[in-house]
Amino acid sequence: MSLLSIKPVRKPKKLLKQIFERFNEDLKETHMSRRYIVEGTFRQSKFPPFSAKGIYTVEGDNGLEIMGPSQNIKTSKLELLHYEGPDSLTSQDSITLISLLRDLLLASPVHRNHKYDNGCYPVSPFVYYEETNRWYDKKAYDIEYGSDNGVYRFQLVKKKNRYLWTEHDREHWLGDYKVTAYFDRRTLRITQFKGEFTWEVAEYPFNLGSNSCTRFLADYDNIGGKPVLKRISYTLTSDSGRNITGTVQRITE
C-alpha cells in the first residue's frame, strides 16, 4: 500500500517561476483535432430558465487555451444541437446562445497572447510571474503517493486591501480570487486548475453591479506527455438573479 505524504515547499517562489517556464513551453505545442460537448443552463431574474447544448471543434490549439481571443473565433466552430426554453429560437437567438456557450470554453491557466477575454472567468494568475508575486499570497505543497508518483499543489490567494497595481498590470485590486492548481511533480505540467472569484459591491465606493460568485474547475489529461483539456465545470451566482451552470467535456471516440 502506497503511503500519502504532504510536505510544504520551502521556496514556493522558485517553484512558481519553474511553473511559468513550463507553461511558456506548453503554449508552443500544437494538437490534433478534438471535439467538446458544451452545455449550459442560464437564468435571469424572474424570466424562465433556458438551456442549450452544442459541440465545439478545435484543431491546432496548444491544449491549454482551447479558445483564443473571442473576436477571432467563428461561430461556425460550435454547432448548436439542442435548446430547451419557453420560446422558439430566431436566428439571432441562436447566435446569442452560441456565444454564451463559447464563453464557457474560456477557462485557461495561461494565455498565449497574454490577454484575457471578457467572459465568464476572472483574469488568469499564470501569465506574468512578477505580477503574480505582487498580487497573491503563495503556498505550495509536495504531495507524494507512491514511488515516483506525486503532484505539487499550488495555492494562490489574492491579497486584500493592498494597492498593488502598476502601469502594466492586467488586473486591478477589486474582488477576491482564490486559485488551486495541481502539477505533475516530474514534468511540472498542469493536471487541474480550479478557482473562486467573489465580488461584493458594498466594499467599493461606487456602483459596479451586484454581488456575485464564480467557481470553476478544469481537469487536464496527459496526451503524448502534454496537458490537454479534459473537462470544465462552471457556476456563476449573483444577487441580480443572473445564474449560470455549465460543463465542457471532451468527446472520446
What tens digit of pLDDT does each residue of 48-79 get?
A: 899 999 999 998 889 998 876 544 444 458 88
The answer to whether residue 119 scores a pLDDT higher than 70 is: no
Percent of the chain exceeding pLDDT 90 equals: 49
Q: What integer pLDDT is reported at residue 63 of this predicted model?
A: 93
Where does the pLDDT of residue 151 fall: very low under 50, low under 70, confident under 90, or very high at 90 and above? very high
Q: What integer pLDDT is reported at residue 59 of this predicted model?
A: 87
What's the one-letter identity of residue 89?
L
What's the one-letter identity of residue 7?
K
Higher pLDDT, 91 or 217: 217
What are the C-alpha distances in Å from 224 to residues 26, 183, 251?
12, 16, 17
146 sits in the region (left: phi over 0; alpha: psi -120 to 50; else beta) called left
The answer to whether residue 105 scores a pLDDT higher than 70 is: yes
Q: What integer pLDDT is reported at residue 20 of this predicted model?
A: 96
Residues contacting residue 32 through CB under 8 Å, at least 6 positions apart: 59
The answer to whether residue 169 scores a pLDDT higher than 80 is: no
Percent of the chain exceeding pLDDT 70 equals: 86
Where does the pLDDT of residue 149 fall: very low under 50, low under 70, confident under 90, or very high at 90 and above? confident
Distance between CA 187 and CA 111 in Å, rounded?
Answer: 19
Indicate the pairing of strand 226-238 with strand 212-223.
antiparallel
Tens digits of residue pLDDT in 186-245: 999 999 999 999 987 666 555 556 788 999 999 999 998 999 999 999 999 998 888 999
Where does the pLDDT of residue 16 fall: very low under 50, low under 70, confident under 90, or very high at 90 and above? very high
Q: Which of 49-58, 139-148, 243-252 has the lowest mean pLDDT?
A: 139-148
Are 173 and 131 in contact by the 8 Å Cβ rule? The answer is no
In degrees and rounded to multiples of 5, residue 103 shows phi and psi of -60, -30
Helix or strand holding residue 89 (H, E): none
The answer to whether residue 249 scores a pLDDT higher than 60 is: yes
Q: What integer pLDDT is reported at residue 117 of this predicted model?
A: 57
With b for 16 or more beta-carbon neighbours within 10 A and e for fewer, the 21-55 pattern comes to ebbeebbeeebeebebbbbbbbbeeeeeebbbbbe
Higher pLDDT, 104 or 111: 104
The answer to whether residue 1 scores a pLDDT higher than 80 is: no
Q: What integer pLDDT is reported at residue 74 of this predicted model?
A: 46
The answer to whether residue 118 scores a pLDDT higher than 70 is: no
Average pLDDT, integer, range 7-29: 94
Q: Is 177 exposed, middle or buried (0-12, 13-18, 19+ CB in 10 A)?
A: buried
The DSSP letter of residue 172 is: -
The answer to whether residue 21 scores a pLDDT higher than 50 is: yes
Are 120 and 244 in contact by the 8 Å Cβ rule? The answer is yes
Q: What integer pLDDT is reported at residue 209 of this predicted model?
A: 63
How many Cα neighbours within 13 Å face the side chain of 245?
Answer: 5
